[in-house]
């Protein structure tokens, strides 16, 4: 039975290909309103992922010749105009006929676009497809049939586990080659293993770290496993989720420094999505400085980790204290921080600048990956050239991206892949090392 869908902006900004999926190769009718077109037009100038998807939408779906259409559901209301856009990309995507409903005068003359979209849905009995929870609730209260359109939702994300103790078997423990194990011998002494390459190999943590000149040593077993996996010869992709203050960025940076010291990679690339958990007047564009300085505000986790390493280096020798003299206790990259980054070939980039480049022989750290979409993860992953490795870091409990949820984002999708596939390694950090205050807030609020 043919279905008639009215698609909200949120679904397109999640991924424009959702229109093809809803169309089901022409089996269903797909509509959008002029309000959605206006919202997408406002987004297309943005550098972030939403801007990229808005531009993809206009190139792909509106870049063809429009023609007036009479293929509408129900009687056409006065002042409404219908335009049909035909897109045929073949292959899995198939053909899509997208119908734009343009209403000259809305009964609801407020600035609330969501109410205007609902008005069109009611006028023609269309099923509203939206990932905006508030709009969905309003639609239901007004008798408009509605549903969300999510792909790759990880409903069981809280049960994902990669660490296994022999004396307490976990039925949800990962069965992939990158699982972590603790087993006791006949004398009750613990031994630690990583399952890799189809077999378990014992982790000689102390010997590994003593021979690699660590600047900062792991504080707990979780961090030891993380560092061992990130520096393992067979590991290329890893996903690490940890609570605030668990040391994700610090351990990832230490792993990159080890690989750089051993000449396995030529440098370290740090990047993250510029998603802000702040009010409008605190956003990136309102901050002082040029583009580099604006980006620096988002790179504070990197600077913080570097400054921790510098403090440790200063303690080790007078030579280090002299080399890294200067202020490091700042949100900006002062002299000592810059010196460290130059010496260890550390670059920082915005995800928006990753398109169209190839990143070869680098250790890539993608921080705050819970605020990245699956498309973001795919974008960055396809940018990696020969000799590169990548680790995705984040806290799946702290999602700030309005288009993502805890059970549906780039990081949780990778963790799910790590649970079922051998190519990706998954690590969970649950211990907070920053402070007792940080630990309390993470556990109690």
More confident: 26 or 330? 26
Express each pLDDT in 344-379 by its tens digit. Answer: 999 988 877 777 789 999 999 999 999 988 888 988
Q: What SS3 state is found at 352?
A: helix
Residue 69: pLDDT over 90: no
> What is the pLDDT at residue 5?
96
More confident: 158 or 237? 237
Q: What SS3 state is found at 100?
A: strand
- Which residues lie across from 428 on neighbouring strands? 241
Express each pLDDT in 284-318 by its tens digit. Answer: 444 444 555 556 667 788 888 999 899 899 888 88
Classify residue 359 by its DSSP letter: B
Q: What is the band of 274 on the pLDDT scale with cuts at 50, 70, 90?
A: low
Q: What SS3 state is found at 136?
A: helix
More confident: 292 or 322? 322
> What is the pLDDT at residue 367?
94
Q: Return mean pLDDT, the chain.
A: 83
Express each pLDDT in 389-423 by its tens digit. Answer: 999 999 998 888 877 888 889 999 999 999 888 89
Name the CA radius of gyration of the chain, rounded: 25
Burial 151-176 (b: 16+ CB within 10 A, else e): eeebeebeebbbbbeeeeeeeebbeb
> What is the pLDDT at residue 67?
59
> What is the pLDDT at residue 225?
95
> What is the pLDDT at residue 126?
94
pLDDT above 70 covers what percent of the chain? 82
Q: Taking the model in full, what pTM does it have?
A: 0.76
Residue 65: pLDDT over 60: no
In 261-410, the DSSP E strands lie at 268-272, 346-350, 363-367, 389-394
Q: What SS3 state is found at 308?
A: helix
H or E segment at 228? helix 221-230
Please provide the distance, in angstroms rounded to a whole number, between the alpha carbons at the two ends of the chain: 47
């Amino acid at each position: 039975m043919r279905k008639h869908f009215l698609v909200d902006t949120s679904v397109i900004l999640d991924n424009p290909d959702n229109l093809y999926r809803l169309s089901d190769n022409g089996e269903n009718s797909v509509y959008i309103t002029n309000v959605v077109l206006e919202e997408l037009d406002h987004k297309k100038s943005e550098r972030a992922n939403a801007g990229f998807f808005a531009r993809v939408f206009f190139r792909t779906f509106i870049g063809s010749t429009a023609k007036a259409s009479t293929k509408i559901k129900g009687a056409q209301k006065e002042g409404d105009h219908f335009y049909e856009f035909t897109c045929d990309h073949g292959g899995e995507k198939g053909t899509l006929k997208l119908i734009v409903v343009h209403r000259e005068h809305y009964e609801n003359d407020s600035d609330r676009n969501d109410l205007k979209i609902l008005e069109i849905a009611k006028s023609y009995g269309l099923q509203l497809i939206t990932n905006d929870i508030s709009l969905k609730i309003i639609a239901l209260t007004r008798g408009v049939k509605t549903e969300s359109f999510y792909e790759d939702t990880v409903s069981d994300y809280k049960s994902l586990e990669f660490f296994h103790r022999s004396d307490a078997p976990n039925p949800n423990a990962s069965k992939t080659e990158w699982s972590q194990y603790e087993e006791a011998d006949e004398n009750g002494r613990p031994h630690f293993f990583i399952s890799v390459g189809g077999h378990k190999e014992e982790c000689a943590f102390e010997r590994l770290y003593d021979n690699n000149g660590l600047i900062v040593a792991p504080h707990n077993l979780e961090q030891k496993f993380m560092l061992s996996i990130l520096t393992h010869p067979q590991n290329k992709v890893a996903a690490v989720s940890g609570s605030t203050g668990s040391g994700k960025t610090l351990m990832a940076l230490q792993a990159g420094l080890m690989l750089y010291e051993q000449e396995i990679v030529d440098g370290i690339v740090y990047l993250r999505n510029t998603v802000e958990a702040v009010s409008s007047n605190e956003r990136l564009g309102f901050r002082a400085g040029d583009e580099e300085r604006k980006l620096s505000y988002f790179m504070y986790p990197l600077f913080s980790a570097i400054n921790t390493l510098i403090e440790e280096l200063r303690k080790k020798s007078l030579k280090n204290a002299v080399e890294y003299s200067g202020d490091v206790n700042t949100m900006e990259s002062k002299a000592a921080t810059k010196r460290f980054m130059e010496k260890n070939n550390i670059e920082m980039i915005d995800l928006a600048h990753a398109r169209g480049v190839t990143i070869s022989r680098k250790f890539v750290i993608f921080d705050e990956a819970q605020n990245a979409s699956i498309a973001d993860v795919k974008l960055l992953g396809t940018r990696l050239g020969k000799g590169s490795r990548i680790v995705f870091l984040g806290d799946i409990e702290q999602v700030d991206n309005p288009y993502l949820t805890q059970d549906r984002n780039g990081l949780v999708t990778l963790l799910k892949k790590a649970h079922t596939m051998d190519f990706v390694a998954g690590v969970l950090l649950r211990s907070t090392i920053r402070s007792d205050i940080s630990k309390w807030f993470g556990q109690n609020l």
